[in-house]
Structure 1
Amino acid sequence: MSWFSLETPHNSDFQSKMKAALKFWLELGVAGIQIEGVEQLNDSQLLGEWKNLTSQYSSDGNARVLIAWTGQQDSRQIFSLLNETSADLLVSPYLLGLELEPTGQKVENTIRAYIQAAGEKWPSWSVGGPRTRHMASLVKERLLGLYHMLLFTLPGTPFTNYGDEIGLQELPGQSGVSRMQWNNSANFGFSSKFSPQGGDSSGSNITVEAQSGNSSSLLSLFRHLSELRGKERSLLHGEFMMLPRLVPDVCVYLRSWDQNKRFLVVLNFAGTQSTVTISHSLLPPEATVELSTDPQRQEGQLALKDLTLESSEGLLLHFPYVA
């Protein structure tokens, strides 16, 4: 039986089984539950009932969330659907519209349209997922760090698929079923009772073990971004301002909150060096390097006039609030 069929709202057996499944996982302590294909659900009241059930398991400092997933890519349709549901978050493949070779202008327009459509709603961002493959199978390798910086610094909630933090890809001819690669053993760190999934694991640097001790790895970048996102108020719930784009492939925006440290995000989507002058009344002449996707980038102060970014470099700068 198709779970989200026309008969679903009237199928008491489905509803009781669904609630039993939700209770089972909630009692095990999961932090959230994701429901896919909600655009096919003909009774939005069902999501309301599931949301109420999820909320019953929330406690102070230990919230449980109900996440809805839709295949829609149009920003207005996405938030129209969110208005119709009771989900805490609605995840979509919206950013897949950026394609393999995004330009700064394309990224800027895509972000602006989504934030405008969101209005007062809380947005979420993702590149890839269970239905759309891992990020590394969808974008060029040189852009992986750039996309992670984008996801973790935009307003709203970033979503990543397991393995995106190390650049995991699907095996040829498969989608969304690659096993997480913890190390280079035959079973990638899983029990020997699991049969090998195929492919040569020896010497691969696409493992957690190989990247954990490497400060220039994708995993190291991911962990740093995740840590910043969790502790910096400007990145958590700060205001978002897109700054003028003076170079075609460079996207620049500002995150700020009250009197907290400000963050300036500069993303170069070009496969070559780009030089840009960033000027605004809210900005100082110099800012401090917080993080870069380029391992060769030195720490310290950078002048915002004639700022040179390396090929596909994402640069996260910070400067203090000044009254």
Structure 2
Amino acid sequence: MPDTIWWKSGTVYQVYPRSFQDTDGDGVGDLAGITARLDHLAWLGVDAVWISPFFRSPMADFGYDVADYCAVDPLFGTLADFDALIAEAHRRKLKVILDFVPNHTSIEHPWFAESRASRTSEKRDWYIWRDPAPDGGPPNNWLSNFGGPAWTRDEASGQYYYHAFLAEQPDLNWRNPDVRAAMHDVLRFWLERGVDGFRVDVIWHLIKDEGFRDNPANPDFAADRPGIERFSQVYSCDRPEVIEVIAGMRSVLREYGERVLIGEIYLPIERLVAYYGPDLTAADLPFNFQLLETPWRADAVAALVAEYEAALPEGGWPNWVLGNHDRPRIAARVGEAQARVAAMLLLTLRGTPTLYYGDEIGLGHVPIPADRVRDPWEKNEPGHGRDPVRTPMQWDEGPNAGFSPAEPWLPQTADLERRNVDAMRDDSRSILTLYRRLLSLRRDHAALSVGGWRGLPLAPEHAAEIFAYERFEGAETVRILLNFGGSEQAVPLEGGPAWTVLLSTRPGRAGEIARDVLPLAPDEGVVLRADSSR
């Protein structure tokens, strides 16, 4: 393996702490639960665990409304529990990445209480306050990502404060140098405790238009889409000055050696890649969510990968995501059979992949009864909720699938007796086994972890169903063939060397030798290695 920065050769596994493991019997996961399940991550073969927020919070948005950035919410445990988690993760050679939520705080944060106290407060400018419009309404037409206006009137002062999300989540003013300094100190607090990097929440929102201009109408808005899409958010986010803000965060991380800065960015490719910054001085990994939006067809995915690879700045390292705590799970989007193909895609493309907890056991859509809905977005805009992708992990055949002795905070799958880690761990046909073997292949073959990438052209009769590409490093070439369709395909191998099947999404093909043509079953993916000695 070439000498490579750990976050380039490694894989990241996202844990939603409320839903991973409950150790205190309240039906909600906690930090001690993550520590208790670290052996699963080590066995699976990932390299880093990214933990969604566990900071002190009134939980209006389940931890993304932070009331104290340097404290653990009692729901999740204590700072001592976190220190134990770091120590145990590092003992297993697992890196730990925290979720950093710098765009907004909780309305209950002491900073906001002071800011709200008076127009002359020393912290008034730490948040975004504006006078009403001439008609007394909100200052402009900016909308909340969770539905409704993004401005709430403070009756005491007569001004409005801005919140890109819930009214309980007022946005900080990152144009204020005191805000930047305070948040840099938050980063240092956790870096001193040993964290290996941060995923920065809604990083493209941090700077807003200085003139607070109205967003233009979106001509493509459809009635079934979230209300936020009524306008194009050209002034409320993705402003050019944000790159300098991100560079400042990165400079703090570099004080502590090779730490990673990952930015959450839902933007088109041409804007996404700008977040690497000039000379790669901003985010190490601007999150690439394009696979969450692209139609699940071979030709569409192939075109996406080629476009992204071509758009990357020189030296920029790619990354890929199939699922997270905000978007429907991959198995729900593409079905159980194609979820296996998706796993092979994620773990064989060039770049750093991020896995979402539960995808390794094929968790899909979990229906949430109306009386169990927890997500504030679903309550504001029915049909857009995120509860179905945040359901508790399923570990064994015991009560509540081993997640908790109490009723879990959200329901689990109806097939939990067979869809759990224990039931799948020793099953050579399970998707869990497939994930583990794919991760093992990445470790064993530099071509898959740090090697180059090239797409392979196919005849028209195959291009609609098959995505074919190669990874290469030194003398090694690995070829990946993915069948996105429901029919068998005979894929030509174009002569040259023989090819050995290293892994298939269907059991029993490893070691098979192919020369001129490789038959692919419906919904099958294979990893092949060139063998010039045959």
Q: TM-score range by the shorter chain?
A: 0.7 to 0.9
TM-aligned CA deviation for residue 202 of structure 1: 6.7
Matches within 5 A, 1:223-242: 223-242=436-455
Match of 1:9 among 159, 175, 198: 175
Counterpart residue identity of residue 253, structure 2:
T
Aligned to 2:332: 137
* Aligned residues of 2:172 and 2:179 also touching (Cα < 8 A): no
Cα RMSD of the aligned pairs, angstroms, is: 2.5
Change (3 A) 1:13 1:172: same
Q: What is the distance in 2 between the residues matched to 1:172 and 1:25?
A: 37
How far apart are the structure 2 equivalents of 1:202 and 1:154? 31
Number of the residue aligned with 1:177: 390
Q: How does 1:78-227 map to 2 (within 5 A)?
A: 78-83=272-277, 86-99=282-295, 102-120=296-314, 121-173=316-368, 174-192=387-405, 195=408, 197-199=410-412, 204-227=417-440
- Give the TM-score of the pair, scaled to structure 1: 0.86
**1:297 matched residue in structure 2:** 509
CA distance in 2, matches of 1:107, 1:134: 17
Q: Does 1:266 pair with 2:461?
A: no
Distance 2:358 2:424 in 1: 12
Aligned-residue offset at 1:192: 3.0
The answer to whether 1:317 aligns with 2:528 is yes
Query: Gapped runs of 5+ residues in structure 1?
Result: none
Paired residues of 2:391 and 2:412 also in contact (CA < 8 A): no
- Which residue, 197, 200, 203 being the options, matches 1:35? 200
CA contact (8 A) 1:255 1:262 kept: yes
Note the C-alpha offset of 1:22.
2.5
Relative distance call for 1:299 and 1:79 in structure 2 (3 A) is same
Deviation, 1:270, is 0.8
Report which stretch shifted further, 48-57 or 119-128.
Answer: 48-57
Contact 1:166 1:211 in 2 (8 A): yes
| Residues 283-307 of structure 1: per-residue CA shift (max 9 Å, x gap) | 41x211100001243532122x232
* Equivalent residues of 1:34, 1:67 under 8 A apart: yes
Give the whole-Å Cα distance in 1 for the aligned partners of 2:272 and 2:192: 30
1 CA distance for matches of 2:259 and 2:486? 41
1-structure distance, mates of 2:244, 2:510: 54
For 1:226 and 1:91, locate their aligned partners in 2 and report how far apart those are by CA, in whole Å.
Answer: 20
Q: Alignment partner of 1:9: what SS? A: coil
In the alignment, the residues of structure 1 paired with residue 407 and residue 364 of structure 2 have an alpha-carbon distance, to the nearest angstrom, of: 19
8 Å Cα contact 2:502-2:510 kept in structure 1: no
Which amino acid counterpart does residue 487 of structure 2 have in structure 1? T
**2:482 aligned counterpart, secondary structure:** strand
Q: Which amino acid aligns with 2:248?
A: E
- Helix, strand or coil at the partner of 2:301: helix
State the distance in 2 between where 1:189 and 1:29 align: 30
- Partner SS state of residue 401, structure 2: coil
SS of residue in 2 equivalent to 1:50 = helix
Q: Counterpart in 2 of 1:65?
A: 260
Tell whether the 8 Å contact from 2:483 to 2:524 is kept in structure 1 after alignment.
yes
1:255 to 458, 471, 488: 471
Tell me whether 1:46 sits opposite 2:259 in the alignment: no
Matched-pair identity in %: 29
Length, aligned pairs only: 309
Conserved? CA contact 1:93–1:127, under 8 Å: yes
What is the CA deviation profile of residues 217-242 of structure 1, one whole-angstrom value per residue up to 9, with x for unaligned ones? 11111111112212311112222121
Give the superposition deviation at 1:264.
Answer: 0.8
CA contact (8 A) 1:184 1:202 kept: no
Structure 2 unaligned residues grouped into runs of 5+: 1-64, 66-102, 105-163, 165-170, 208-241, 369-386
- Summarize deviations over 1:148-190 as a string: whole Å, max 9, x none: 1111111111112111111123532424421222223224333
Displacement of 1:105: 1.8
Aligned partner of residue 449 in structure 2, secondary structure: helix
The structure whose Rg is larger is 2
Residues 251 and 170 (structure 1), Cα distance of their counterparts in 2 relative to 1, 3 Å cut: closer
Contact 1:91 1:126 in 2 (8 A): yes
Contact 1:125 1:158 in 2 (8 A): yes
- Bigger mean CA deviation after superposition, 201-210 or 118-127: 201-210
